[in-house]
């Protein structure tokens, strides 16, 4: 926006209010000292204290973090591999079909993804638990990673890789010592995106989880059905903080990488 006008100010305020007022209310009420969710009775952090002494929540949080970490690592490896093949593999039979198939899970309703995974696990006799949630989260988040990484790879001068081969690298060495350092920002933001998605997910996790493995979103959802407790507010506030951190870091990393790349290009143009 170049100029301040009342129209711009109002639409900006309304837009952000629409997005953030619900969350703001939730954060405020997580510091409410009353047990009644809708009545303000003064500032307190007791719900945070009671949350951390609630073993069920702590267990669920631990499962969620474990699932998020392992699945986002696996998704990053697989997603990067897919992106590399799709961008660098040249033209091969069925390439455009494959590349659209990678994007399909992004628009697929989560219920369908969850249900199909559930059927798969049952049919191969895999007991549902932490492992199956990891598998399920890897499955859907690797698509996001591959989208992020392939857009970086596509804007990358192939002759840099050829130069590495020319100078005596094996293809794997060229990937490790040249390609990976250059695409690292995209790989890291892909990982953060996968991690955030895994933390958020309720639908797919509820299909893939078993009785012994409850993730935080599932736990929250099931306890809310028995009535909203201020503890949930506190927990949600913590989750908002984590997700905000993840999203901000991702965007800062990728924005910085883009800025640096543009700077390099500009300089190349000026000097060249």
Partner 1 sequence: MSETDKTTCFEPWNEVGKKPLIEFRGVSKKFGALTAIDNVSFNIYEREFFALLGPSGCGKTTLMRMLGGFETPSQGQIFIDGKDISTIPANQRSVNMMFQSYALFPHLTVADNIAFGLKRSDMPKSEIAGRVDEMIKLVQLGNLGGRKPHQISGGQRQRVALARSLAKAPKLLLLDEPLGALDKKLRQETQFELVDIQEKLGTTFVIVTHDQEEAMTVSSRIGIMDQGKLIQIDTPDRIYEAPNSVRVADFIGDVNLIEGNATTTADDKVIISWAEGQPTLTAQTTTNITDGAKVTFAIRPEKIAMTTDKPTDASNAIEGHIHDIAYLGNVSIYKVRLSSGHMIKAQAANTRRLSRRNYTWEDKVWLSWTDTAGIVLTK
Footprint of partner 1 (CB under 8 A): 157, 159-160, 162-170, 173, 178, 181-182, 263-264, 267-268, 271-272
Name which of 55 and 157 has its Cβ closer to partner 1: 157
Name which of 2 and 270 has its Cβ closer to partner 1: 270
Compute the least distance from the CB of residue 69 to partner 1, in Å: 27
Q: Tell me the C-alpha to C-alpha distance, in Å, between residue 109 and each of 78, 113, 114, 164, 196.
A: 22, 7, 9, 42, 18
Query: Residue 215 has which token pair?
Result: 């993730």
Name which of 39 and 167 has its Cβ closer to partner 1: 167
Compute the least distance from the CB of residue 187 to partner 1, in Å: 14
Compute the least distance from the CB of residue 183 to partner 1, in Å: 10
Name which of 127 and 162 has its Cβ closer to partner 1: 162
Nearest by Cα to 186 from 246, 139, 255, 100: 255
Q: Tell me the C-alpha to C-alpha distance, in Å, between residue 167 and each of 15, 22, 152, 170.
A: 54, 57, 24, 9
Compute the least distance from the CB of residue 186 to partner 1, in Å: 14
Give me the torsion for CA of 133, 138, 139, 142, rounded to 10°: 160
Compute the Cα dihedral for 161, 162, 167, 168 and give only its sign: positive
Give me the torsion for CA of 25, 250, 254, 12, rounded to 10°: -10
Compute the least distance from the CB of residue 249 to partner 1, in Å: 21
**Contact of 153 with 87, CB cutoff 8 Å:** yes
Q: Which residues contact 84 (CB under 8 A, 6 or more apart)?
A: 149, 153, 175, 179
Name which of 127 and 265 has its Cβ closer to partner 1: 265
Name which of 101 and 165 has its Cβ closer to partner 1: 165
Name which of 109 and 168 has its Cβ closer to partner 1: 168
Three-state secondary structure call for residue 32: strand
Compute the least distance from the CB of residue 241 to partner 1, in Å: 33
Compute the least distance from the CB of residue 83 to partner 1, in Å: 19
**CA 146 – CA 245 distance, rounded (Å):** 22
Compute the least distance from the CB of residue 269 to partner 1, in Å: 9
Query: Residue 175 has which token pair?
Result: 């990937």
**Contact of 178 with 169, CB cutoff 8 Å:** yes
Name which of 18 and 172 has its Cβ closer to partner 1: 172
């Amino acid at each position: 926006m170049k100029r301040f006008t009342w129209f711009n100010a109002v639409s900006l305020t309304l837009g952000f209010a629409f997005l953030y007022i619900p969350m703001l209310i939730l954060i405020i009420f997580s510091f409410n000292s009353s047990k009644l969710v809708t009545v303000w009775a003064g500032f307190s952090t007791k719900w945070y204290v009671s949350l951390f002494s609630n073993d069920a929540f702590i267990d669920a949080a631990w499962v969620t973090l474990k699932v998020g970490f392992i699945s986002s690592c696996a998704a990053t490896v697989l997603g990067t591999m897919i992106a590399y093949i799709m961008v660098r593999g040249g033209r091969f039979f069925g390439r455009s079909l494959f590349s659209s198939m990678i994007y399909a899970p992004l628009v697929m309703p989560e219920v369908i993804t969850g249900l199909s995974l559930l059927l798969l696990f049952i049919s191969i006799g895999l007991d549902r638990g932490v492992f199956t949630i990891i598998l399920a989260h890897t499955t859907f988040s690797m698509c996001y990673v591959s989208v992020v990484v392939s857009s970086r790879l596509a804007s990358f001068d192939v002759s840099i890789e050829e130069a590495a081969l020319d100078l005596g690298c094996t293809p794997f060495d060229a990937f490790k010592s040249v390609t990976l350092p250059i695409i690292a920002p995209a790989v890291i933001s892909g990982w953060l995106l996968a991690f955030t998605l895994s933390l958020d997910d309720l639908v797919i996790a509820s299909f893939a989880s078993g009785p012994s493995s409850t993730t935080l979103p599932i736990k929250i959802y099931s306890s809310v059905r028995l009535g909203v407790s201020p503890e949930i507010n506190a927990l949600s506030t913590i989750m908002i903080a984590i997700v905000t951190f993840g999203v901000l870091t991702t965007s800062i990393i990728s924005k910085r990488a883009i800025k640096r790349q543009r700077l390099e290009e500009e300089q190349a143009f000026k000097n060249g």
